[in-house]
Amino acid sequence: MSAVEYNLLSNKPVTAHQAIKNNDGAEKQTNTYQRDIFKRTGTKDVCRLARQLATLLRAGLPLVPALSAIVEQLQEVPKHRILRLGARNNPLAEIMQQVADSVNAGSTLADALRRHPGVFSNLFVNMVAAGEASGTLEEILLRLAEMLEKRVHLAGTVKSAVAYPTMMVVVATGVVVFLLSFVVPGITQIFLEMNRALPWPTRLLIATSTLIKTYFVLIAAVVCTVLLGIGAWIRTKEGKLLVDSFKLKLPLFGNLFLKLEIARLTRTLGILLVSGIPILRALEIAKGVLQNSFLAGTLAAVKDGISKGDNIANAIRKTGLFPPIVFHVVATAQVSGNIEDGLINIADMYEGEAESTAKMLTSLLEPAILVVMGAVIGFIVLAILLPIFEINQIL
């Protein structure tokens, strides 16, 4: 019997900290749990699941029947589908059925979710544990759903803002390579057969075209090898740390990356503290949420400062990475005793700024890309036309 179950049966009060401490012991058994490597689901699916479960619990449905209803919902196939293949093989439905079976057998919901780390993050599991311990599971699930929805919305905004310029670069680069490999050689061959002195733009174009056409396979192999090598190096701890540190120093995008990470960190911390999770544990969980390993490493210094008696605002200030407004808002919220709302307000502010920054960068990148690619194509056209103009003048 777990400590939480014992306290509940003996009518002793149980805190979120006790529940999480109990769950930490269960983490040692994760090597025996199914990791769902081939059953990963998206954040949208987990977000929808959390909101649906919270709605069912608020309607008064007990936990096990609510989980069974979720499984039935996940297994349902829309009637308008002509082909209903794979309807009973929904990975999330299978996982939730296992969760429902575990809870029905006497396990807590948090422990049942913890057995599927490929689907439910440490943040999700710990907040559910806090909700079960405090008797506010439906409220915690709603907070989780709202937080995940905001995260998905922000990520979608940034991705859509970057997708169009990226597509433009890829298409324009492909067009230039095609021109230099297949179109330009046929045209410039006429100039070479005339045995006349050619303008330097034309000579440069011919040399570039010849190089690409002759060594295209070798160049492609070298580029792919370099990209694969860089990708493998970035996946190492040292490489990721260096790259993440470099991202924050980029001229335009560094500010965007920093705003995204601050919004993610402050919202996670705010939700965790509202849920009753102690600050040191909340910092440890939030560290796993950050995508930038350099910023995640600074949380260790923040946590160390707080454990030594420093307040959150001063610990954040000493890192030197966060904008002044962050620790000023946190310091003010500490005085009023409402630090959770202060952190969530910071998250709202930086999410809005990140969206506007992403749109601004898109509006700047699109004309810049058009100018650069226009200059490249213009140079190609000029290099082809110059010899033609000279021939016409001679004739």
Does residue 3 carry a pLDDT above 80? no
Quick: pLDDT tens for 119-145: 888 888 888 888 888 888 888 899 888
Whether 212 is in a domain gets the answer: yes
Q: Do 69 and 163 fall within a single domain? A: no
Among 90, 113, 135, the domain-final residue is 135
Q: Do 52 and 151 fall within a single domain? A: no
Whether 225 is in a domain gets the answer: yes
Q: Do 122 and 176 fall within a single domain? A: no
Cβ contact 251:345 at 8 Å: no
Whether 140 is in a domain gets the answer: no
**Residue 333 vs residues 130, 147, 286, 337: alpha-carbon distances, Å:** 23, 21, 19, 6
Q: Do 329 and 256 fall within a single domain? A: yes
Whether 291 is in a domain gets the answer: yes
Q: Do 299 and 367 fall within a single domain? A: yes
| Cβ-defined contacts of 210-217 (< 8 Å, 24+) | 210/185, 212/177, 212/180, 212/181, 213/180, 213/181, 213/185, 216/181
Among 84, 109, 135, the domain-final residue is 135
Mean pLDDT of the chain: 80
Q: Do 311 and 207 fall within a single domain? A: yes
Q: Do 169 and 105 fall within a single domain? A: no
Whether 323 is in a domain gets the answer: yes
Give the pLDDT mean for 8-19.
39
Quick: pLDDT tens for 238-263: 888 899 889 888 887 888 888 888 98
Does residue 334 carry a pLDDT above 80? yes
- Both tokens of residue 371? 């100018």
Domain at 359, CATH number: 1.20.81.30
DSSP H or E stretch at residue 224: helix 216-234
Q: Do 129 and 227 fall within a single domain? A: no
Q: Do 83 and 188 fall within a single domain? A: no
Q: How far is CA 382 from the centre of its chain?
A: 44
User: How many domains are there within the chain?
Assistant: 2
DSSP code string of 11-71 = T----HHHHHHHHHHHGGGGGGS---TT----HHHHHHHHHHHHHHHHTT--HHHHHHHHH
CA 377 – CA 373 distance, rounded (Å)? 6
CA 302 – CA 275 distance, rounded (Å)? 21
The residue behind tokens 């102690």 is: 278
The residue behind tokens 């699930």 is: 141
Range of the domain at 232: 145-395
Q: Do 195 and 85 fall within a single domain? A: no
Q: Do 123 and 169 fall within a single domain? A: no
Q: Do 163 and 126 fall within a single domain? A: no
Give the pLDDT mean for 354-372.
85
* Per-residue confidence (pLDDT) for residue 89, from 0 to 100: 61
CA 280 – CA 98 distance, rounded (Å)? 32
Whether 81 is in a domain gets the answer: yes
